[in-house]
Amino acid sequence: MFSISDFKVEIDAIDISSMVTSMNLYESIHGNVKGTIHVEDKLNFFDMFFRGIAMTQVKISYIYFDKYLEIDLYADGVTDQVITKMGKSYNVTLSSLLNLSAEVIRICNSYSGDSNIILSKLWKETHGDIAKLYLDSSTDSKGKYVVPNISASECMRNVVNASYDVHKTGMFLYQRLVDQGGTRFTSIHTMGNTPYSPGGDPFAIKNVEITIDTTLGMHDTIGTANKFILKDYNKDFIAKLAGGMWGQKVTQIELDETKDTVHNKKEATDIEITKFSLSKNLYDTEVSLFSPESLVQEEIIMNMKFRLFNTNLNVEGVVAIPGIGCGMTVNVDQGGNGISATKTDGTYLVANINHIYTMDDGDMEYSQNIGLVREWYNLEK
């Protein structure tokens, strides 16, 4: 494993890099970047500078194989604090800067167009022009969305769940660490056709045990690992089959809509949230993004997303790969021979990456745990 250089962690513009002994940054196709930093605090930094419930900005930057990375997050609480006579140690939980506005801002508006247009308008109303949104795929889902005073996060989740591209594959809204704060709206088809190929050829994660006799060159070592765990392979097939995950036909039966049922909450507070029911007359001649036809399509799209995770392969202790991110594809070679050869080699989609940084003798060493997924043997094309 290799080390990063020029490592810096700033909390409210105060450099605490010398106090950070380990750090984890996690990315996934299911959401935003998050993480944890472990702090050995012998200067009482916690009491002097942490601002209670107010947002405390955290800026992280470093260089790895000539690639500079900088990302802004915010401290979302402190956990596991231990106090000794020598000082304090604790974990600082990190969250994306986008989480606050997405949860706090409520949307009461209407939007029309395809899913890219609707999401872009919602994004601008929620995050303004500063936060970057990359639209990687052309969307075929379209209609009108009347938003009845709900949080921006719930609103965007509804759009993502109902969206599909021109190839009729589902969409994901997520962040990569390498995008340094940017967010992507990408389809399964686009992901399956986005190989990580820094040298021109698709990259392969290999099972290599480094010894004196098998020492590799520096660049040949990148992406090697010796722990591959097949977490799931076609698990709960009967339940999935019964649930229609591989169904090709959906029959919808319209139920009576005249009954009005009110469900009271078990606990009540003085914080009131108002939601409005929608009339079909709001759409005039336009089609709702959530019309009965689109709801059936949404069910098909969700099944496709579940099928993508039919095979889960975890690779631990990977010699960190510079520039890789979730939503890319890689090849896997687990190094089997004879009876240990496996059909679970081949092309996978990177679903999540846990970036692990550990201080060792003054150097911050960098490794990755990578979660890989695919449906049966091949990705959706």
pLDDT value at residue 241 = 61
pLDDT value at residue 283 = 54
Whether 63 has a pLDDT exceeding 90, the answer reads yes
Position 209 confidence tier, pLDDT thresholds 50, 70, 90:
low
pLDDT value at residue 46 = 85
Asked whether residue 155 falls in the same domain as residue 302, the answer is yes
pLDDT value at residue 233 = 75
Asked whether residue 84 falls in the same domain as residue 142, the answer is no
Position 220 confidence tier, pLDDT thresholds 50, 70, 90:
confident
Provide the CATH number for the domain around residue 358: 2.40.30
pLDDT value at residue 196 = 95
**Helices 292-308 & 152-162 angle (0-180, nearest 10):** 80
**Helices 152-162 & 115-127 angle (0-180, nearest 10):** 170
Position 381 confidence tier, pLDDT thresholds 50, 70, 90:
very low
pLDDT value at residue 111 = 92
**What percent of the chain is predicted at pLDDT more than 90?**
53
pLDDT value at residue 271 = 43
pLDDT value at residue 309 = 79
Bigger pLDDT: 255 vs 319: 319
Whether 164 has a pLDDT exceeding 60, the answer reads yes
pLDDT digits (tens, 9 = 90+) for 244-301: 555 544 444 444 444 444 444 444 444 444 544 445 555 555 666 655 555 556 666 7
**Domains of the chain: total:** 3
Asked whether residue 330 falls in the same domain as residue 296, the answer is no
Position 132 confidence tier, pLDDT thresholds 50, 70, 90:
very high
User: Where among 64, 96, 128 does a domain terminate?
Assistant: 96
| Residue 255 is assigned to a structural domain of this protein | no
> Which residue segment(s) compose the domain that 204 sits in?
194-234+310-374
| Residue 188 is assigned to a structural domain of this protein | no
| Range with lowest mean pLDDT among 61-65, 115-119, 263-267, 331-335 | 263-267
Whether 184 has a pLDDT exceeding 50, the answer reads yes
- From 349, 311, 304, select the one nearest 170 (Cα to Cα): 304
CA distance 345 to 336: 9
186, β-bridge pairs: 172
pLDDT value at residue 342 = 78
Q: Do 206 and 336 contact (CB within 8 A), yes or no?
A: no
- Can you give the pTM of this predicted structure? 0.83
User: Where among 96, 123, 154 does a domain terminate?
Assistant: 96
Asked whether residue 6 falls in the same domain as residue 88, the answer is yes
Asked whether residue 219 falls in the same domain as residue 319, the answer is yes
| Range with lowest mean pLDDT among 114-118, 160-164, 254-258 | 254-258
pLDDT value at residue 187 = 94
Position 177 confidence tier, pLDDT thresholds 50, 70, 90:
very high
The number of beta carbons lying within 10 Å of the beta carbon of residue 325 is 19
CA distance 320 to 3: 9
